[in-house]
């Protein structure tokens, strides 16, 4: 009789929570949503901006997370597990709606590569909006990899797994998006310093 090695969950407490969610425990569902909502909202709003349906899209993504709770195995963090669901849900709906609407700004406190120093709140908000306007000029596939790489800190291999694309394809998308963003940003006085700070490494 062969010995079958069983993977031991690295996040047993969270696994217990998601199992409770999958069984219909509403309190557990609220706890899971509370843990993941801000992260999911930031991801969706970087992808969809202040699209009039963006808040609805966040809700749809969280509903999908709840419905998928039984698939969590505790082998990775629940945040990474949920990120994949959120991104795929967002991409599916954005593709359907992008023909009708164009995203123009972002309502989020997290900023791609923006200076970390404390500064004027209005200026920082304007910077975020300008960066988001540049992101909106990218094809969705490039925008997704940039969002995951810069906002959430995912490596190329991790992004490739999340979006079901070859590693080299994701790397090419990221490099292409970065070149386009830098070129566009250098033409904007407010973004020139931000563009010059962009790292050369992927």
Which CATH number belongs to the domain containing residue 116 in this structure? 1.10.10.10
Give the whole-number percent of the chain exceeding pLDDT 90.
Answer: 36
Contact 179, 128 (CB under 8 A): no
27 and 77, same domain (yes or no): yes
Whole-angstrom distance, CA of residue 191 vs CA of residue 187: 8
Question: Are both 180 and 148 inside the same structural domain?
Answer: yes
- If asked whether residues 78 and 52 sit together in one domain, one would say yes
- This prediction has a pTM of 0.69
Residues 34 and 104 in one domain: yes
Parent domain of 174: 109-202
Mark whether 97 and 37 lie in a shared domain: yes
Q: Quick one: which of 149, 145, 129 has its CA closest to 194? A: 129
Residues 58 and 102 in one domain: yes
The domain boundary, picked from 84, 108, 132, lies at: 108
The CA distances from residue 82 to 90, 156, 160, in Å, are: 12, 18, 16
pLDDT tens, 3-44?
Answer: 444 555 677 889 999 999 999 999 999 999 999 999 998 888
- Tell me, yes or no, whether 15 and 102 share the same domain: yes
The CATH number given to whatever domain includes residue 38 is 1.10.1740.10
Q: Are residues 80 and 94 in the same domain?
A: yes
Do 86 and 134 fall within a single domain? Answer: no
Tens-digit pLDDT string for the chain (202 aa): 444 445 556 778 899 999 999 999 999 999 999 999 999 988 888 887 655 677 888 999 999 999 999 999 988 899 999 999 999 898 888 877 655 544 433 334 444 544 444 455 666 677 777 777 788 888 889 989 988 888 778 999 999 988 889 999 999 999 999 888 888 888 877 777 777 666 544 4
Q: Does residue 4 lie within any of the structural domains? A: no
Residue ending a domain, choose from 89, 108, 127: 108
Domain match, 118 and 94 both: no
pLDDT at 127: 72
User: Taking the C-alpha atoms of 70, 71, 76 and 78 in order, what is their torsion angle to the nearest 10 degrees?
Assistant: -50
């Amino acid at each position: 009789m062969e010995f079958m090695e069983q993977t031991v969950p690295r996040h047993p407490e969270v696994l217990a929570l998601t199992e409770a969610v999958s069984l219909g425990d509403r309190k557990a569902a609220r706890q899971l949503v509370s843990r993941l909502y801000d992260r999911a909202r930031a991801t969706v709003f970087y992808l969809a901006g202040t699209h009039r349906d963006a808040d609805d899209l966040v809700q749809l993504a969280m509903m999908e997370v709840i419905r998928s709770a039984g698939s969590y195995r505790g082998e990775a963090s629940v945040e990474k597990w949920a990120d994949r669901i959120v991104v795929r849900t967002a991409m599916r709906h954005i593709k359907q709606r992008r023909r009708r609407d164009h995203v123009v700004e972002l309502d989020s406190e997290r900023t791609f590569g923006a200076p970390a120093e404390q500064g004027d709140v209005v200026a920082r908000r304007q910077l975020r909006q300008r960066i988001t306007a540049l992101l909106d000029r990218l094809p969705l596939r490039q925008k997704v990899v940039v969002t995951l790489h810069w906002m959430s800190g995912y490596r190329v291999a991790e992004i490739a797994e999340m979006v079901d694309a070859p590693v080299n394809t994701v790397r090419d998308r990221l490099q292409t998006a970065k070149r386009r963003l830098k070129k566009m940003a250098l033409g904007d006085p407010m973004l020139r310093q931000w563009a010059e700070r962009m790292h050369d490494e992927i």
